[in-house]
Structure 1
Amino acid sequence: MRSLRPGIVWLIVLTIGVLFRVLLRDHLYLVAVIPYMLVSVATPFVILAGVRLHRPAHRAGWLFLAAGQLLYAVADGMTVADDYLSGEFLEPTPADLLYFGYYLLVAAAVLLFIRRRTPGWDLPSAIDALVVAFSAGLLSWIYVLEPLTSDSELPLNAKLTQSAYPVLDLMLLILAVRLVMGAGTRGPVLYLVLGSLALMLGVDSAYLATTIAEGGAVIETSLDCLWMISIALLGSAALHPGISNFDRRTDTAVPDASPIRLAVLAVAVLMAPGVQFLEWLRGDPVGVPLISGACAVMFLLVLARMSGLVAAQRRAAVTDGLTGLHTRRYLAEALTTECRRAARSGHAVGLLMIDVDHFKRINDGYGHPAGDQVLREVSRRLKAATRAGTVVARYGGEEFAVLCPHTAPRELQSLAERLRAETAGLPVEIGGELLSVTVSVGAAVLTGPDPETLIHQADKALYQAKTDGRNRCVLSTPDQVSH
């Protein structure tokens, strides 16, 4: 509870600031904006305080956020001074340049979080983020950017400057959605960061929409309050103790087709036809090429996403979750295919059945996690010692199988001995203790269309190897068993 107190204090400060901003709305401008400026200036220092308090393993992302918020506070101060003095800065103003620097620093921070939490390329999450971003971008274009760029009274530099804000907000939102939809720890810190960036996009878009609407007026008090909340949410995220492991990668993947994720994607995909229908009801239909193009792009993104899901399902069906080897089901299909091919061509098919010796002792003496570690290490060594085209599978429990097409008996026996020696060559480290691990290998060669016979002969040879004392190889043929 004590670790949450700074966050609670910051929430109280924010609440008081919003309350005073509302109460001072009718006072002199410089007085009315004091609560907003206090929150804006305090936020970067609150982020630094959170980093110092909770000491996250990687601080770079949070330092980028603090630097970005400091630029934002300086730009706010310049904007307030400009409004009060009625300055005639040409857009982009010096404050605009600092605001743009804020976006770049925050984007760098979010990118660091993404790379820490999900090393490598996470294409499914990237596609999901693109679907959501494309939908949000369509709304931004129709209701903000297109009306703004069509306003003939604004000079070009003002159009470009004002248009940059929703575009940059959208960029941050894309990164935030990608952060949420990727792997990594969940919790308040993640959702506070997402809430801050999403609210910033909404408020900036509302500000532009009110300024370009005919007869519209900017409601400074409401927008300032929302900006204050958006800024302060990043401070709340930094003060939460969850930042200590926020960018630490977790082995638990995000559910790839959770109801919430599917609902978000469904709303995003239906946004384009929904907007067209609403505009038709208003008597102001949106251009057909725009909506058609948006629908086509999102259809292709969803198609790519479905293709990835199907590929992932196929991989999961034929891949053992613990070892990463092929499953028994995959081996059975591959064995049937190879036996039929061997019957037509006359080439021999070899099969190795491999069993980890005294595996029950490992589980009983060191625990099941240690047994899992041994299985993963044995799998790695078997895979490393086999050639391309060989099928290595986990047959069940502590038993493995290796399918070797176009392999003569002598070659198969040589491979079996190599796999046995490779496994027994180095001990496996378990909890700081070195454990010797050996395997027994049964081998069989067959030229014919009957995979069951080949499996039976390899099993028979494996039984003989275990009977003879384990940590040895036995080659079996339909009419003989040889050591």
Structure 2
Amino acid sequence: MRRDRRAGLAWLGVLTICVAMRVWSGIVEAPYLATIAPYMVVSAGVPIVVLIGTLWHRPPHRAGWFLLFAAQVLYAIADGMTVYDSWLGGYLEPTPADLTYFLYYLLLCAAVLVFIRRRAPGWDIPSGVDALVVAISAGLLSWIYVLEPLTADSGLPLNAKLTQAAYPVLDLMVFILAIRLVMGTGTRGAVLYLLLGSMSLMFVVDTAYAVEGIADGSPASESYLDAMWMISLGMLGSAALHPGIRRFDQRSDTALPDASPGRLGMLTVAVLMAPGVQFIQWLFDDPVSVPLISAACAVMFLLVLARMSGLVAAQRRAAVTDSLTGLHTRRHFTQALAVECRRSARTGHGVGLLVIDVDHFKQVNDGYGHPAGDQVLREVARRLTVGSRAGGVVARYGGEEFVVLAPHTGPDELLALAERLRTEVSGLPVDVGGDLLAVTVSIGAAAESRPEPDALMRTADEALYAAKAAGRNRAVLSPSTPLTRRS
């Protein structure tokens, strides 16, 4: 920890000194090479720091960090080419430096995509929709205030227009990926926020550079822009030096809160951006891009509507799904039992019910800990699901107790199902952190025609108590005697 702290402080010290020197050299109007030297120290130092941090901390998956290192090498080379061209004076666009910058953007996007896929395997559609809303808003601003003025400048040749317009588009692409990264699942912490801050600041500074060039008619070269670029690069180096990169891109099965205040605030700002821009254009008597803004508003409205539908569906799933086992909840089972009993009252078909209890579960928690107990419950739930009939309802009733609702089932069929589930659970031991535990269940079964829900539940409970009293690891059909077969 001390070594990590010293390395982070050393890099922060180098960055602070270089930024101060760059700002001071701009104030005193030092010679060009002396002015740009502090910036080049940071630019060339970042890939070295990223490589050192990656080899030092040795994260389990290093592909993203090596891509980031390669991207920053290209960035430093392109910066060197730009300095050389500026020193000689006069160049045509696109230059070799521009082409190198474009390759840098591709590698940077590839690195961020690797991080996203490692942190959230599969398709995280809600986070993708959120990022798309922000992307449309940011893209609208970029088009109105950067890209459209650039393409409308008749004094620029076509190649210069395309080159200058490419940077805002590429910056926007990186910014969108950064938003997607932070909105997705995965561990939070300093590394994530340093990467987000670096890419967001780079987007802001590049946009300011382009806007200033449009306003002045010539490329901007103020020291404050260089200082912000240096800070952006410095944050990238700090992220690689932070020990959190060991856990940064670990796979996560836990989703972020879908309606957190920060996320809702960001989406609110993004959605209000289009009408806000329209109002500002009207206020300053600028031509209002009605088709563009209307289309942006319509698309964002549809995305927000889809997002709300997803939130409602997720809340419904959460209300009827047990978070530990993935089975239905007691609430869902109670409703399903009531519905099935009403159907049975009309048609007369049989309704079967199994109440299942994990034998000696308290000993598992006491002897191996609650995480081991949770693993046992998850595995029992999985085996019950595998062994159940299609069309039935498997639910966690509470604690270590499960229930299985089997419609259109008579006593003989229900008893056979109970034995199959009992055998399925006890067939193989459960692995809990390297220890193999033999797990068995006791099952109470009840099958009736036109039953009352509460009465059927009581009957199955009585059968479960009989199974426990008879020695556990058995199925008892009420009101028959306990089965004698044991596994």
Q: TM-score range by the shorter chain?
A: over 0.9
1:343, distance to aligned residue in structure 2 (A): 2.2
The 5 A counterparts of 1:285-364 are 285-364=287-366
Match of 1:41 in 2: 44
Q: Residue by residue, what CA displacement relative to the aligned partner does 1:132-188 show, whole Å, maximum 9, x if unpaired?
A: 121111111111011111112222222222111111111111111111111212111
Residue 215 to residue 85, structure 1, CA distance change in 2 (3 Å): closer
How high is the TM-score relative to the length of structure 2?
Answer: 0.95
Q: 2:119 aligns with which of 101, 117, 120?
A: 117
Q: Which amino acid aligns with 1:175?
A: L
Partner of 1:4: 5
Deviation at 1:114, TM superposition (A): 1.0
Larger mean Cα displacement after TM superposition, 337-346 or 296-305: 337-346
Gaps spanning 5+ residues in structure 2: where?
A: none
| Separation (CA, whole Å) in 2 of partners of 1:313 and 1:297 | 24
1:14 to 1:3, Cα distance in 2 relative to 1, 3 A? same
Question: For 1:285 and 1:408, how far apart are their aligned partners in 2?
Answer: 76
- Distance in 2, Cα, partners of 1:481 & 1:170: 72
1:51 matched residue in structure 2: 54
What amino acid maps onto 2:95 in structure 1?
A: T
Residue in structure 1 matched with residue 442 of structure 2 by the alignment = 440
| % same residue | 69
> Which residue does 2:76 correspond to in 1?
73
Q: Return the alpha-carbon distance in structure 2 between the equivalents of residues 245 and 203 of structure 1.
A: 30
Change (3 A) 1:220 1:289: same
- For residues 219 and 395 of structure 2, what CA distance do their matches in structure 1 show? 69
Note the C-alpha offset of 1:481. 6.0
Q: Which residue is equivalent to 1:223?
A: 225
Q: What is the aligned partner in structure 2 of residue 474 from structure 1? A: 476
Taking the aligned partners of 1:40 and 1:363, their CA distance within structure 2 comes to 55
Residue in structure 2 matched with residue 426 of structure 1 by the alignment: 428
Say whether 1:236 aligns with 2:238.
yes
1:204, CA displacement in angstroms?
A: 1.1
With over 3 angstroms needed to count, the CA separation of the structure-2 counterparts of 1:143 and 1:455, relative to structure 1, is same
Partner amino acid, structure 1, of 2:62? R
Which is worse superposed, 9-18 or 448-457?
448-457
Shift of 1:249: 2.9
Q: Is the 8 A contact 1:336 1:449 kept in 2?
A: no
CA distance in 2, matches of 1:285, 1:463: 79
Read off the aligned partner of 2:69 and give its amino acid letter.
A
Counterpart Cα distance in 2 of 1:81 and 1:416: 80
| Whole-angstrom distance in 2 between the partners of 1:21 and 1:386 | 71
Q: Are the equivalent residues in 1 in contact too, given 2:351–2:451 (CA < 8 A)?
A: no
Deviates more, 1:192-201 or 1:256-265: 256-265
Question: Letter of the aligned partner of 1:64 in structure 2?
Answer: L
Partner residue, 2:21? 20
Q: Give me the whole-angstrom Cα distance separating, in 1, the residues matched to 2:190 and 2:400.
A: 41
Contact 2:410/2:448, CA 8 A, preserved across alignment: no
Preserved CA contact (<8 Å) 2:46 2:237: yes
Q: Deviations over 1:183-222 (max 9, x none)?
A: 2121111111111111111111111111112567624322
1:445-481 per-position Cα deviation (integer Å, ceiling 9, x unaligned)? 122152222212211211221122211111126xx66
Match of 2:387 in 1: 385
Match of 2:261 in 1: 259
Q: CA deviation at 1:432?
A: 2.6
Out of 183, 189, 194, the position equivalent to 2:185 is 183
**Tell me, what secondary structure is at the counterpart of 1:154?**
coil
- The letter of the residue matching 1:10 is W
**For residue 406 of structure 1, what is the aligned residue in structure 2?**
408
1:345, distance to aligned residue in structure 2 (A): 2.3
Residue 45 of structure 1: how far off its partner (Å): 0.7
Alpha-carbon shift at residue 369 of structure 1 (Å): 2.1
* Structure 1 residue 444, shift from structure 2 partner: 1.2
C-alpha separation between the residues in 1 aligned to 2:369 and 2:17? 55
* Aligned mates of 2:164, 2:481 — CA distance in 1: 83
Displacement after TM superposition at 1:443 (Å): 1.1
Contact 2:467 2:482 in 1 (8 A): no
| Structure-1 separation of matches of 2:192 and 2:100 | 26
More off after superposition, 19-28 vs 369-378: 19-28
* Matched AA of 2:457: I
- Of residues 212-221 and 51-60 in structure 1, the stretch that sits farther from structure 2 once superposed is 212-221
Q: Distance in 2 between matches of 1:79 and 1:141?
A: 26
User: Counterparts of 1:451-470 in structure 2 under 5 Å?
Assistant: 451-470=453-472
Give the SS at the match of 1:444. Answer: strand
The CA distance in 2 between the partners of 1:433 and 1:194, in whole Å, is 42
Contact 1:92 1:158 in 2 (8 A): yes
Residues 298-336 of structure 1, C-alpha deviations (whole Å, 9 max, x = no match): 111111111111111101100111111001110111111
For 1:395 and 1:424, locate their aligned partners in 2 and report how far apart those are by CA, in whole Å: 20
- Match of 1:102? 104
Matched residue of 2:244: which SS? helix
- SS class of match (2:476): strand
